[in-house]
Amino acid sequence: MFCRKIIAEVDILGMETKKEFKVGRIEEAIRKKRFQQIGWTIGVLMVIGALILAGVSYSRWKNKNLPGVAYPNQGQEHVESGHQHEYNSNPPTSGWHFAVPSDWGVYKEELPDGTLIHNLEHGGIWISYKPGISEELRSKLESFYERYGRKVIVTPRAGNDTDIAVAAWTHLDKFNAPEYSDERVDKFIRAFRNKGPEFVP
């Protein structure tokens, strides 16, 4: 009787030990799973962080290599003709403008800034020049419309503070006649044509 009791107690102890062992293994497996999940989470966050950093670095590098000067966006509000607005560049590259843009092409007379800003909004390039430049240089500027067709507009503009200004939405390259080169204007057009906030084919 006494021996049976001892054997029964040993069996009970053995079962409890087995249970504890199983519980211990389960807890250890849960801990390992948690560590794996934490490791995966940290790894994913590190990859996301690296991608964001690479994107920011690329964006800065790309912007540094873009032609001309970038200006803060002054908005896209449409106004009636006659409204006065102070722009942050000369000629303007964003801001208040009229509801109807001009047809693309070459003009011999000035057009309102408010009209041409709308052309820039549609991804156009506005090449403007002081009326006193040479006939040869004016012809070279006008040839960019022939080369690119739509999305280029060429006009005289007495209000320019340099001989030539090439404008896109929020971007501008200004220079005088001695600094002109076909490559300079072409590089600007290729960088910003069709890059306005409203894409219009």
pLDDT per position as a tens digit, 55-113 = 444 444 445 589 999 999 999 999 987 777 899 999 999 999 999 999 999 999 999 99
For domain 70-192, give the fold: Glutaredoxin (3.40.30)
Q: Where are the domains of the chain?
A: 1-65, 70-192
**CB-based burial label for 197 (10 Å; 0-12, 13-18, 19+):** middle
Q: Residue 103 gets which letter from DSSP? A: P
Cβ-proximal residues to 182 (8 Å cutoff; 6+ apart), any chain: 140
Element (H, E) at 152: strand 152-156
- Rounded CA-CA distance 119/100 in Å is 9
| Spatial contact of 155 and 111, defined as CB atoms under 8 Å apart | yes
Element (H, E) at 154: strand 152-156
Question: Whose structure tokens read 């040993």?
Answer: 10
3-state secondary structure of 142: helix
pLDDT per position as a tens digit, 145-196 = 999 988 999 999 999 999 999 999 999 999 999 999 999 999 999 999 999 9
User: Both tokens of residue 42?
Assistant: 């940290």
User: Both tokens of residue 120?
Assistant: 């820039």
